[in-house]
Amino acid sequence: MKPERWFDPSNKIFPHQVGFTAPPHDFDAAPSDFLRIAPRSVGVHGRLLHLDEYGHELKQRTDNFHLLEEVVHCMANAGADVVGQVGTNWSHAGGRTPDDIAAFCDRMADTYQTPLHMAGMCLVEGLRALSAERIAVNAVYFWPDWRDGIVRFLKDAGFDVILSGNFVDQGFYETQDEVNDCTWIFPGDLAERSMLHVAGAAPDADAIVVTGMPNWRDADGLPERTVSVARRIEAAVGIPVVSSDFALYWRIFKTLRVAPVGDQPRLLSTLQD
């Protein structure tokens, strides 16, 4: 059970405390990105999943899915109000369905009195909140099995996936190895060019889904996630963009009953109304 003292807000460092976890061997930007758009009442704490060897394979996610429960347990003991899991593919790996993930997250909340939100499932919840039905998937840097897995997961959730493709499918890179060599960091202009490509190929889509956590270099050459460019992208394509990074942030803010600050993309801005 969660220590009783954490149910008294006066015992906490921050009124709203968020725990993040990310795949092994990744220094993840989510805690920093989330904190940049959070009010001062929110604090974050990160804990990586730990494996001595990790090659970002779906089987490794399936085999080590149990580590997520360990994170929720640790974060609950430390006084987290909610835990966010970074890594879209952990939701669909091993053939898991949205119902499977919802049941797992419900069990975490019941067992540790601390909600867990998983990035892949947050895509589903965010799209439903926007009443999107027909979606186009920009699978960005995703390997083919990652791309196909998340498309299957979204279809299992009831969405009509009218288009899906990664950077190789879109013609921006010749091979997946070339994409992998970028280490998830891409030229800043590729964000808009890629989204415009998807919007042009799927003009009837209700929303564009951006899988994973791609980083786009800004004018100073610093990487920034889709949450930082989504407002500009939405203006360019004319429909909502729902990406794994800020779908997760949206769900966390919703659980905390706290709104993000600043000018935000469509999904996050629904919390500011």
Q: Are residues 79 and 137 in the same domain?
A: no
What does the pLDDT look like over 46-101, one tens digit per residue? 999 888 888 889 999 999 999 999 999 999 999 999 999 999 999 999 999 999 99
Closest CA to 226 of 238, 251, 72, 240: 240
Average pLDDT over residues 40-46: 97
Q: Are residues 38 and 173 in the same domain?
A: no
Q: pLDDT: is 57 or 202 the higher one?
A: 202
**CATH code of the domain containing 79:** 3.40.50.12500
If one counts the domains in the chain, the total is 2
Residues spanned by the domain of 10: 4-122+246-265
Closest CA to 218 of 179, 181, 189, 182: 189
Q: Are residues 105 and 214 in the same domain?
A: no
How far apart CA 124 and CA 37 sit, in angstroms, is: 22
What amino acid is encoded at 74 in this protein?
Answer: C
Helices (H), 19-137: 30-36, 58-63, 67-77, 98-112, 119-129
> Residue 170: phi, psi to the nearest 5?
-80, -10
Q: Are residues 256 and 168 in the same domain?
A: no
Q: Are residues 89 and 185 in the same domain?
A: no
Q: Are residues 160 and 259 in the same domain?
A: no
Residue 51 forms part of a structural domain = yes
Q: Write down the pTM of the prediction.
A: 0.96
Closest CA to 153 of 207, 206, 97: 97
Q: Are residues 231 and 250 in the same domain?
A: no
Q: 């994170």: which residue's tokens?
A: 71
